[in-house]
Amino acid sequence: LQAKKRADYLPPAFTINDVKMDVQLHPTCTRVTSEYQVERMGNHGHALTLDGDNLTLREVCIDGQPYTDYEQTDSSLVICNVADDFSLKLVTEIDPEHNQALEGLYLSAGTYCTQCEAEGFRRITYYLDRPDVLARFEVTLHGDKQHYPTLLANGNPIARGDHDDGTHWVTWQDPHPKPAYLFALVAGDFDLLEDSYTTTSGKPVKLELYVDKGKRDQGVFALESLKRAMKWDEDTFGLEYDLDIYMIVAVDFFNMGAMENKGLNIFNSKFVLADQDSATDEDFFNVESVIAHEYFHNWTGNRVTCRDWFQLSLKEGLTVFRDQQFSADMTSPLSNRIKHVRVMREHQFAEDASAMSHPIRPEEVIEMNNFYTVTVYDKGAEVIRMFHTLLGPEKFREGMDEYFRRHDGQAVTCDDFVAAMQSVTDLNLGHFALWYSQSGTPVIEVTTSYDPQTRRMDITFSQHTAPTADQKDKASLFMPVAFDCIDSAGNHYTDDDGQVRDGMFILDTAAKTLHFSDVPEPLIPVVLGNFSAPAKVENSLSAEQLLAVFQYANDTFNRWDALQSLYDWCIHQYELENQAAVDATIWQGLEQVITRESHNHELLGECLVIPSFETLCQSRQLVEVAALNTARSQFCRDFAQRLHGPLETLFKTLETGPYQYTQTAINARRCRNVVLNHLACAGDADKLLNQQFEQADNMTDSLGALKAAQGHSPSVFESLMSRFEQRWNHDPLVLDKWFGLHATTERTDILSQLSLLQQHPRFAKGNPNRVRAVIGSFAFFNTAGFHAPDGSGYQFVTDYLLKLDAVNPQVAARIVTPLTQWHNFAPDYQLLMKAQLERIANHKGLSGDLYEKVSKSLA
């Protein structure tokens, strides 16, 4: 399998300007007739090579005449001796019912739908399946009227009718030229929610949301979220919607979260359906943010698209940044920021430290599906955020305006985005652009020196990025570093040379020193406020200093982060069997955190969360899994017991009342459930757990009780779980929570539990949501089970992946991720993980998806 390289990009030899498609839907033999207006680009004599995958070719005509001068390979159709401009007609047949990879056109649970990004269109018909070929599409769908009363494609419906044989047809026309990855069709029988939106310039837009029959009420929140997103994009970026109709369809079988097809978004139902009973606050949040994300793609992705797939972050990093800003405006900036930083620390830093390390704009790809990563998406968004920080909101908006002015309707590169931003600022972005090509997580090391005689203090920041699997040599990056400096009484200090401006300085060299004079005591540097750059910080503050940062720092993110560092340090003491170092002053300090901030439910709801095992791994090397996991659990238990009094008092004040989805109520519920977990950990909370489960009028609290019982009260957990299953047996999305809870429970017989879960009547191995809920949850989040010292967890996951790979390689390649991240574990674990990776590598008929990740990991 050959990797494609970014540097090898060549513009297309031909383009296609107009596409007419006629799709006769049939479960096992859908017939696709396509007619293209093809144009040679430039002066050359090459044949026309179209991409195709798993297609049966029935007919080729050029300019209306049958044509035979062509060759077929496994992945292409090469048409020889063609003119400079011609019309090409192709007839192909495909088998949607047996398409379990869920790419291209597939039929699942009685619904036909498509997934064409990144390279799925070539599974529908032969085409120039690359994002820099933009065509106008007109699509006619024919299908059985009774089973598929709804026939949808991109754009506007322009004609419809009935055939004599019980089938009907609809023609859709999309006026906006688009790459094939944005093509979509859907056929099914849905409930429809209808609404409308009038844009700022007065244009009415029909909004349509299609959900499974009987689920109409669960779609209301998504539709409201869509209107909020439309308004926000007008207010924030002056961007209006551009078609007469915007459709969203929710389906149960989907490989990812959602897809931004032009005018016809297709969603995993998990990110559409939500109501008080069945969805947690987090689910509501995710629905709103994914609805917004896909909507925002209409400009950042669809109107301006990517020249090639190496540029994926052009649309994804930018769109994630936009959805993060939207969510922060709709909910709360602090908890949003913390949520995203957790993703960076738990997942992106781990990816950077693994064999899959790549820059936000990758250089080499075997299977594009493997590059929809936390690096491209989330680190990509952090890079856009740094533009925003460096330029400020107004200049950033000017840069965005310029980007659209220059590139609307085009397929462009990350460099084009940087150039648009550069055109509005005097700041030289040349050095900053290194973020696009350099992989790895930079570490900012903070060292201080204080001279009591001269009362001078120097604070030095040095940066380095360790070599990564894909790139040995690293240069210094250009980083905005939010900075504050305090003493133990909470006084703030400014540096002598004024390098820190508006609470920020630029670190663009290997090291930089800030000088402070006339300071009475060693100062405490408070670094990387609001996570102003996607970096790790090594700032060895004492427990006392960390508590001072919590108490006095200006930046709330820094305050939260100080406690995270404090917990990390404490857990390290437990690893060293030096628990005594976590002394009374620390427990008192933590007690004061709770009592002083007891009114601030948002802050406490975040600050009382102990860092996850995955986050802790990022500040350690060659992790002894069992030792770290035990140390973490012991610390959690001591935390719960030592702070039991204040936690209990706090819990009593957290009466949340009847369910409301307001920020105040969300914060209170979150805080209450975090505290409940601690109380359960301290023991003796069975009554509380039962009570909360019993009285809950919403999913957040039901699940809060289950999660708190999970690790701490096995008998309560069992009984609540079986009641939960009985109540929710009919609802696959809720049952996924139940599957996930079982799969993440740390128990010695977990593997037989997992086998039982797979035999559950509601488990379906062809449904990615179910597979992720059981196998994915286990691999990613069941620390003790997955990392069992005898290697049985690794073996279990591998056995499953080898089967899954044959049906859905894309999902298999996602779930293999924790195995490929063996580098950071102690040698015994490494050996066992690599043994399973070898098994995968040697498996006959392995997909390109798994091959790429596993072979890199073993290289």
Catalytic machinery residues: 294
- Beta carbon of residue 127, minimum distance to ligand HT7 (angstroms, whole number): 17
Q: Is 506 in the site for ligand HT7 (CB under 6 A)?
A: no
Q: Look at residue 615 and give the partner it binds from Zn ion, ligand HT7, none, a contact being a CB closer than 5 to 8 Å depending on partner kind.
A: none
Q: Look at residue 259 and give the partner it binds from ligand HT7, Zn ion, none, a contact being a CB closer than 5 to 8 Å depending on partner kind.
A: ligand HT7
Q: Look at residue 118 and give the partner it binds from ligand HT7, Zn ion, none, a contact being a CB closer than 5 to 8 Å depending on partner kind.
A: ligand HT7
Q: Is 38 helix (H, G, I), strand (E, B) or coil?
A: strand
Q: Which of 293, 345, 385, 712 binds ligand HT7 (CB under 6 A)?
A: 293
> H or E stretch including 554?
none
| b/e map 210-239, b = 16+ CB within 10 Å | bbbeebeebbebbbebbbbbbebbbebbeb
Stretch that binds ligand HT7, among 124-132, 140-148, 289-297, 639-647 (CB under 6 A): 289-297
Nearer to Zn ion, 325 or 656 (CB): 325
User: Rounded to whole angstroms, how far apart are CA atoms 678 and 410?
Assistant: 53
Nearer to ligand HT7, 118 or 272 (CB): 118
Q: Is 129 in the site for ligand HT7 (CB under 6 A)?
A: no
Q: How many CA atoms lie within 13 A of 742 on its CB side?
A: 27
Q: Look at residue 215 and give the partner it binds from ligand HT7, Zn ion, none, a contact being a CB closer than 5 to 8 Å depending on partner kind.
A: none
If we measure between CA atoms, which residue out of 228, 4, 22, 239 comes closest to residue 124?
22
- Nearby residues of 194 by Cβ (< 8 Å), 6 or more positions away: 206, 207, 208, 209
- Beta carbon of residue 235, minimum distance to ligand HT7 (angstroms, whole number): 22
Cβ proximity of 683 and 712 under 8 Å? yes
Nearer to ligand HT7, 564 or 808 (CB): 808
Q: Which of 316, 555, 568, 701 binds ligand HT7 (CB under 6 A)?
A: 316
- Beta carbon of residue 219, minimum distance to ligand HT7 (angstroms, whole number): 19
Stretch that binds Zn ion, among 12-20, 26-34, 310-318, 798-806 (CB under 5 A): 310-318
Q: Is 252 in the site for ligand HT7 (CB under 6 A)?
A: no
Residue with tokens 């700032």: 539
Stretch that binds ligand HT7, among 252-260, 564-572, 737-745, 792-800 (CB under 6 A): 252-260
- Beta carbon of residue 316, minimum distance to Zn ion (angstroms, whole number): 5
User: Rounded to whole angstroms, how far apart are CA atoms 715 and 738?
Assistant: 16
Residues 316-335 that bind Zn ion (CB under 5 A): 316, 319
Cβ proximity of 526 and 484 under 8 Å? yes
User: Rounded to whole angstroms, how far apart are CA atoms 343 and 16?
Assistant: 40
Return the HEC string of 226-269: HHHHHHHHHHHHCCCCCCCEEEEEEECCCCCCEECCCCEEEEEH
Cβ proximity of 225 and 218 under 8 Å? no
Q: Look at residue 255 and give the partner it binds from Zn ion, ligand HT7, none, a contact being a CB closer than 5 to 8 Å depending on partner kind.
A: ligand HT7
Q: Look at residue 218 and give the partner it binds from Zn ion, ligand HT7, none, a contact being a CB closer than 5 to 8 Å depending on partner kind.
A: none
Cβ proximity of 391 and 429 under 8 Å? no
Q: Look at residue 819 and give the partner it binds from Zn ion, ligand HT7, none, a contact being a CB closer than 5 to 8 Å depending on partner kind.
A: none
Q: Is 731 helix (H, G, I), strand (E, B) or coil?
A: coil
Nearer to ligand HT7, 373 or 783 (CB): 373
Residues 790-829 that bind ligand HT7 (CB under 6 A): 810
Cβ proximity of 391 and 424 under 8 Å? yes
Q: Is 369 in the site for ligand HT7 (CB under 6 A)?
A: yes
If we measure between CA atoms, which residue out of 236, 242, 291 comes closest to residue 401?
236
Q: Which of 30, 154, 167, 255 binds ligand HT7 (CB under 6 A)?
A: 255
Nearer to ligand HT7, 179 or 442 (CB): 179
Q: How many residues does the chain have?
A: 859
- Beta carbon of residue 526, minimum distance to Zn ion (angstroms, whole number): 34
User: Rounded to whole angstroms, how far apart are CA atoms 660 and 516?
Assistant: 50
Q: Is 226 in the site for ligand HT7 (CB under 6 A)?
A: no
Q: Which of 92, 115, 269, 286 binds ligand HT7 (CB under 6 A)?
A: 115
Return the HEC string of 344-409: HHHHHHHHHCCCCCCCCCCCEECCHHHHCCHHHHHHHHHHHHHHHHHHHHHHHHHHHHHHHHHHCC
Q: Which residues bind Zn ion (CB under 5 A)?
A: 316, 319
Q: Which residues bind ligand HT7 (CB under 6 A)?
A: 115, 117-118, 255-256, 258-260, 293-294, 297, 316, 369, 372, 810
